[in-house]
A and B are shown apart, each in its own frame.
Chain A
Amino acid sequence: QQPVQSPQAVILREGEDAVINCSSSKALYSVHWYRQKHGEAPVFLMILLKGGEQKGHEKISASFNEKKQQSSLYLTASQLSYSGTYFCGTPSGTRNQFYFGTGTSLTVIP
Chain B
Amino acid sequence: SQQGEEDPQALSIQEGENATMNCSYKTSINNLQWYRQNSGRGLVHLILIRSNEREKHSGRLRVTLDTSKKSSSLLITASRAADTASYFCATDNFRGGGADGLTFGKGTHLIIQP
A and B from one complex: no
B interface vs A, CB < 8 Å?
none
